Structure 1
Amino acid sequence: MARDRKLSADERILWGKVARSTRPMPGKAGALTELDAFLAEAEAAAELEQEKQTPATPTPLQATAPSTAKPSAGVHHPLEKPVKRKIAKGRLALEARIDLHGLVQSQAHAILLDFLIRAHERGMRHVLVITGKGSSMGSEGALKRAVPLWFSKPEFRYLISSYESAAQHHGGEGALYIRLSRRHGERP
């Protein structure tokens, strides 16, 4: 393999999952910080390269847009009410579900990412993610709070079109309906 070859987006996601699932050997924690620094540099270089590839000249429509507008990258919209109602009543099937109860955040992150990638690759559109309400043993719902935040991260952003709290019989506030984005080239 060539040393100067850049990792693809899928390879970076996979490497991130592998890196998060490992622990340093005793006395080797210094090498881990070097790896983290290397990964941070690589990510910054990739972002810089992506910025160079985007056109710098604004289109006439962008020039007239107000400057207070925020970019929508990474922002997911809630499910439309009719879609949520159909899922809740069982008229629109949930094609898969995953239960993250009892997992720590690092485990849940890797498992959820793998689940969503597989569901997306299979062309699924609506899935259920059960995070739990987190009210037992003094916990304040770490996964309930963390999972929606993860959805704005690059590894999740392209997979998810929208999400919203589930209906009571599907877990209520301890679960999320997720609409996966369409695969590239797939027709609506």
Structure 2
Amino acid sequence: MARDRKLNTDERILWGKVARSTRPMPGKKDQLAELDAFLTEVEVEQQTAAAAKRPSETDAGPTVPVVSKTRSGIHHPLERPVKRKIAKGRVPLEARIDLHGLVQSEAHILLLEFLMRAHERGMRHVLVITGKGSSLGSEGALKRAVPMWFSKPEFRYFISSYETAAHHHGGEGALYIRLSRRHGERS
């Protein structure tokens, strides 16, 4: 990728969300402050646009409740029959990503991009391999971190539920993820 390429608005918003979840390197706080100002400006513009689209209370006609696109942050486990079908291959895993050997910052970005692409393509079930963390005295950084990431706003929109994978798919070192349906999609 060319270093002099400018990010478009959507890319800057996504990068800003990722950057907010990290600690800036020494001397880079100015760039983070600039990014925060941009994100705040975009959020204000989105709120203003949403307010302009809402019908005023004096307009005649039925009122439509506003449904929030954000989720509570609590993911429910996959139902047992669904997990069993995935394990037996009757429900296909449409994509997989292996995060072995990555540091958390790299894994976070790659996982978010992977889930966004899978969600855009309408996929429902994917496999995320974190590894078991077999180093001495370690439980595995990614094995612990990935489920915590799923409650963060940037992941919450894409994930409906997740569960530890079956033994032949990686067991404790992998997760089955059910992606949420795209807006307006049925069954």
What TM-score does the superposition give when structure 2 sets the normalisation length?
0.71
- Contact 2:16–2:36, Cα closer than 8 Å, also in 1: no
**Residue 90 to residue 19, structure 1, CA distance change in 2 (3 Å):** same
**Are positions 1:31 and 2:9 aligned together?**
no
Deviation at 1:12, TM superposition (A): 2.0
Does residue 42 of structure 1 match 2:40?
Answer: yes
CA distance in 2, matches of 1:108, 1:187: 31
One-letter amino acid matched to 1:179: R
Task: Indicate whether 1:157 and 2:170 are aligned.
Answer: no
Cα offset for 1:35?
3.7
* 1:42 positional shift: 2.3
CA deviations 1:110-156 (Å, max 9, x no partner) are 00000000000111000000001112244321111111111111111
Matched with 2:6 is none
Aligned twin of 1:107:
106
- Say which SS state the counterpart of residue 126 (structure 2) adopts: strand
AA paired with 1:164? E
The yes-or-no answer on 1:134 pairing with 2:133 is yes
**Residue of structure 2 equivalent to 1:76:** 75
Q: Distance in 2 between matches of 1:175 and 1:100?
A: 10
For residues 182 and 34 of structure 1, the distance between their equivalents in structure 2, rounded to whole angstroms, comes to: 34
Contact 1:20-1:106 at 8 Å conserved across structures? no
The answer as to whether partners of 1:129 and 1:178 remain within 8 angstroms in 2 is yes
State how far apart, in whole Å, the 2-side matches of 1:29 and 1:14 are: 15
Distance 1:161 1:33, change over 3 A: closer
Structure 1: runs of 5+ lacking an equivalent: 1-6, 54-71
Q: Percent identity?
A: 65
Task: Report the counterpart of residue 169 of structure 1 in structure 2.
Answer: 168
| 1:133–1:141 contact (8 Å) kept in structure 2 | yes
Kept in 1, the 8 Å contact 2:19–2:32? The answer is no
Partner secondary structure for residue 178 of structure 1: strand
Give the gaps of 5 or more residues in structure 2: 1-8, 52-70
Give the partner amino acid of 2:132: K
Aligned Cα root-mean-square deviation (Å): 3.3
CA distance in structure 2 between the partners assigned to 1:84 and 1:137 by the alignment: 31
What is the distance in 1 between the residues matched to 2:111 and 2:167? 22
Question: Can you list the C-alpha shifts for 1:51-82, whole angstroms capped at 9, x where unaligned?
Answer: x97xxxxxxxxxxxxxxxxxx71111000000
User: TM-score normalized by structure 1?
Assistant: 0.71
The amino acid of 1:42's aligned partner reads T
- Paired residue type of 1:106: S
Which stretch has the larger CA shift, 173-182 or 10-19? 10-19
